[in-house]
Chains A and B, each alone.
Chain A
Amino acid sequence: MSDILKKLKDIVLEFDIDTAESTAREAIESGIDPIKAADALTEGIQIVGDKFGSGELFLPDLVCASEVLKKAFPVINAEFEKRGQETKKLGKVVIGTVFGDIHSIGKDMVATLLYAAGFEVIDLGINVKGEDFLKVVRDQDPDILAMSALLTTTSSEQKNVINGLKEAGLRDKVKVIVGGSPINQEFADSIGADGYGSTAPEGVRLVKKFLNIG
């Protein structure tokens, strides 16, 4: 691995948000193939993800490593566009916490782990109205729609969104997964979701299962 590729991988392993963008720019200016640059970053985040899974690293480490990627990838992606190349993504996931619910941590963890695993993630944030979920599904054509709800009182909003997808003729275009403290498999089945995950890593496994990614 060349020095600059090692440097790219290291900024992820060292959670170096401050130099992420400049290092990515340095890599591109050195003439390196953007595919290799993207692979170096991905290799770094996969190591971080594995260490998080084994308990060696913690949530702030995972999130900060993900922030490094968020700073570095736009530079790499711009080079892809310049060269007319397409970026490699495993699939597209739209994620958000449903309307009436302002809890974000569970949703953020799933979004971060999906991003770290190589998915394109469109994070709509918290308190997302049903119509906004529908609009993004219609406009962005994602593979997966992931909805979070922490409150019993808002969990029914997941059902409303699924019903909205049916009414708009969009239900068959996207797999729907749900999660959150009051949610269980029984509830997920009752509202017509395709899958349920009780933890963030389970959510990622579900997405991979639906997209046939080993």
Chain B
Amino acid sequence: MQNGYKRNFEPLRILSQSQVEQLHSSTLQVLDEIGFKYESEKVLKLLEKHGCRVDHENRIARIPPDLVEWAIAKTPSSFMVRARDPEKSIRLGGNTVYFMNSAGARYADVDTGEVTMPTLEQNNEGVVVSDALESVHCFPSYTPYFEIGGVPPVMSCPVSCAQRMRFSTKPSRGAQPTDSFIWETKLAQAVGAQLMGCVEGAAPLSLAEDPCNAAFYYLDAGFPIYIASGSLMGASHPITIAGATVSHNAELLAIIVMLQCIKPGCGVIANNFVSAMNMQTGDLNFGTAAISLHQMAYNQIWHDHYKIPINNTGAAFSNSKMIDYQTAAEKLPLAMCSAISGANLIVLHGGVTGELAYNPILAVIDDDIARTIGRMLESFDVTDDMIGLDVIRQVGVGGTFLNTKQTRTLWRSEDYMPKVFDKTSYQEWVAGGKKTILDKAKERTEEILSTHKPDPLTDEQEKDVESILKEATKYYKEKGLI
């Protein structure tokens, strides 16, 4: 199993206990009074059986507080996601922090900033690089690219999933649109892995039919579920951080109520993906203070109060079109705040230009960022050995610690030395050709691509994967979607 990083200190709490209670009781009030729209009669009937007041005409279920509390209590505080290679499985929850790859619609040229449709080869290389990166523990769906040249749009999710199964042994999240969950479930099962099934709401306060269907399908396969309800503060959520926290809580808890009614005790990780809005263009603003405050408040409520595993997506993207200072300035503070405030999973590696583009070279740089954060989370030991009074005594006044066994044996574990950050002296930098972080990340990417060979599928697994993709193509052709 991948161990991730252990947060060896109490998470940062930015809310008082009474504020947590006020936000939670407001959430219960929203679900009880306004309710939540489920675009599935099957779900509505199930919820009605569990005590919800259902308006079938408008497909709205009003959820009583005791049912919400029951669903929270039923949701386990941690669960396992089995990977194709059992050593790459992950256990989400508690004080463990993992990182998930980010994604983009297009391939970003890191030198020009131009974006192009990725080829299948570029897609596969992106997967291979992330498979090699120690701090990428799992993948979301349609990753690293939403689109792949030559692949019909409706086949994007199944093909993307198949390529991750082929070129990585790490766990993945499934997708939900246009019945893609059928094929992704079959693909995962063919290689002996679980997926985190995806059930994503539509803010404010609704869940379309596809995710309802996906929920039944993924749960029936015995997969845990990754829930989300992406939204924009000021548009699909209130502009206030407190209001958006209540709205977001209500949406995710409404989905959890549905999941626990379908399969009590099922594992769920709840994603926070609430963005700020550019009030000039309506586009998403990434890396802002409001997003980070929202995530920290959310983490405190879900980690401390609900005890349900949580994911944060705020650090996944930057609005910068290039890999530059802005990229780091928008991603790093959010990732750090997520890590110290209770997140179990943080989406980070490789996303540039909003959600528009991706490049594995940025994933390589983000690997250093994630591992630095991971090292900080693990904190340090305070023991007689680690204080080492005898060493301090031995060096005395005016000596050096450089020649001690303590320094020689512990310097690697006491700190993390980034692989692509420039740590040379000025003279070394000039003599080495004035390499930038991008130059070094490109070199490391090339090195990974020439040396890292992910464990291939067996012949039988490969045959099954190919057959499932053919079956999916036939299915969508018959539906007139290809």
A55-B281 Cα distance, complex, nearest whole Å: 10
Q: Does the CB pair A153–B177 fall under 8 Å?
A: yes
Stretch at the interface among B152-160, B340-348, B360-368, B372-380: B152-160
CB-CB < 8 A to A106: which residues of B? Answer: 282
Q: Is B234 an interface residue (CB 8 A)?
A: yes
**B275 → A minimal CB distance (Å):** 11
A92-B229 Cα distance, complex, nearest whole Å: 34
Task: Give per-residue flags for A96-121: 1 if the beta carbon is below 8 A from chain B beta carbons, else 0.
Answer: 00001010111011000000000000
Q: Is B356 an interface residue (CB 8 A)?
A: yes
Instruction: Give the contacts of A122-156 with B (CB-CB under 8 A).
Output: 126-127, 151-156
A60-B234 Cα distance, complex, nearest whole Å: 8
Contact of B105 among A60, A160, A182, A200 (CB under 8 A): A182
**A182 → B minimal CB distance (Å):** 6
CB-CB < 8 A to B178: which residues of A? Answer: 100, 153-154
Q: Is B208 an interface residue (CB 8 A)?
A: yes
Cβ-closest chain B residue relative to A127: B208
Main secondary structure of the interface of A (DSSP, over half): helix
Q: Is A87 an interface residue (CB 8 A)?
A: no
Q: Is B481 an interface residue (CB 8 A)?
A: yes
Q: Is A22 an interface residue (CB 8 A)?
A: no
Contact of A153 among B157, B202, B277 (CB under 8 A): B157
Q: Does the CB pair A102–B153 fall under 8 Å?
A: no
* Number of chain B residues whose Cβ lies closer than 8 Å to a Cβ of chain A: 28
Q: Is A211 an interface residue (CB 8 A)?
A: no
Q: Is B235 an interface residue (CB 8 A)?
A: yes
Contact of A55 among B146, B202, B210, B280 (CB under 8 A): B280
Q: Is A199 an interface residue (CB 8 A)?
A: yes
Cβ-closest chain B residue relative to A160: B480
Q: Is B184 an interface residue (CB 8 A)?
A: no
Cβ-closest chain A residue relative to B209: A127
CB-CB < 8 A to B157: which residues of A? Answer: 153
**B416 → A minimal CB distance (Å):** 36
CB-CB < 8 A to A210: which residues of B? Answer: none
Cβ-closest chain B residue relative to A53: B280
Q: Does the CB pair A60–B177 fall under 8 Å?
A: no
Contact of A105 among B177, B280, B282, B356 (CB under 8 A): B282
Q: Does the CB pair B105–A181 fall under 8 Å?
A: yes
CB-CB < 8 A to A104: which residues of B? Answer: 235-236
CB-CB < 8 A to B232: which residues of A? Answer: 105
Cβ-closest chain B residue relative to A200: B282
Q: Is B431 an interface residue (CB 8 A)?
A: no
Q: Is B147 an interface residue (CB 8 A)?
A: yes
A152-B105 Cα distance, complex, nearest whole Å: 8
A156-B152 Cα distance, complex, nearest whole Å: 9
Q: Does the CB pair B280–A58 fall under 8 Å?
A: yes
Contact of B156 among A55, A126, A153, A181 (CB under 8 A): A153
Q: Is B397 an interface residue (CB 8 A)?
A: no
Main secondary structure of the interface of B (DSSP, over half): loop
Q: Is A47 an interface residue (CB 8 A)?
A: no
Q: Is B279 an interface residue (CB 8 A)?
A: yes
Instruction: Give the contacts of A160-184 with B (CB-CB under 8 A).
Output: 160, 181-182
Cβ-closest chain A residue relative to B152: A156
Q: Does the CB pair B279–A59 fall under 8 Å?
A: yes
Instruction: Give the contacts of B167-183 with A (CB-CB under 8 A).
Output: 177-178, 180
Q: Does the CB pair B279–A58 fall under 8 Å?
A: yes
Q: Does the CB pair A152–B282 fall under 8 Å?
A: no
Q: Does the CB pair B154–A156 fall under 8 Å?
A: yes
CB-CB < 8 A to B236: which residues of A? Answer: 104-105
Instruction: Give the contacts of A194-214 with B (CB-CB under 8 A).
Output: 199-200
CB-CB < 8 A to B280: which residues of A? Answer: 55, 58-59
**A133 → B minimal CB distance (Å):** 16
**B264 → A minimal CB distance (Å):** 28
Q: Does the CB pair A153–B234 fall under 8 Å?
A: no
CB-CB < 8 A to A160: which residues of B? Answer: 480-481
**B235 → A minimal CB distance (Å):** 5
Q: Does the CB pair A199–B177 fall under 8 Å?
A: no
Q: Does the CB pair A153–B279 fall under 8 Å?
A: no
Cβ-closest chain A residue relative to B284: A105
**A19 → B minimal CB distance (Å):** 23
Q: Does the CB pair A181–B147 fall under 8 Å?
A: no
**B357 → A minimal CB distance (Å):** 11
**A49 → B minimal CB distance (Å):** 13
CB-CB < 8 A to B146: which residues of A? Answer: 151-152, 182
Contact of A152 among B153, B234, B277, B279 (CB under 8 A): B153
CB-CB < 8 A to A58: which residues of B? Answer: 279-280
Contact of A109 among B147, B210, B234, B282 (CB under 8 A): B282
23 inter-chain pairs at a CB distance below 8 angstroms, sorted by A residue, are A102-B202, A104-B236, A105-B232, A105-B236, A106-B282, A109-B282, A151-B146, A151-B177, A152-B147, A152-B153, A153-B156, A153-B157, A153-B180, A154-B177, A154-B178, A156-B154, A156-B481, A160-B480, A181-B355, A181-B356, A182-B146, A182-B147, A182-B153
Closest 9 CB pairs of A and B: A102-B202, A58-B279, A105-B282, A153-B177, A59-B279, A156-B153, A152-B147, A152-B153, A109-B282
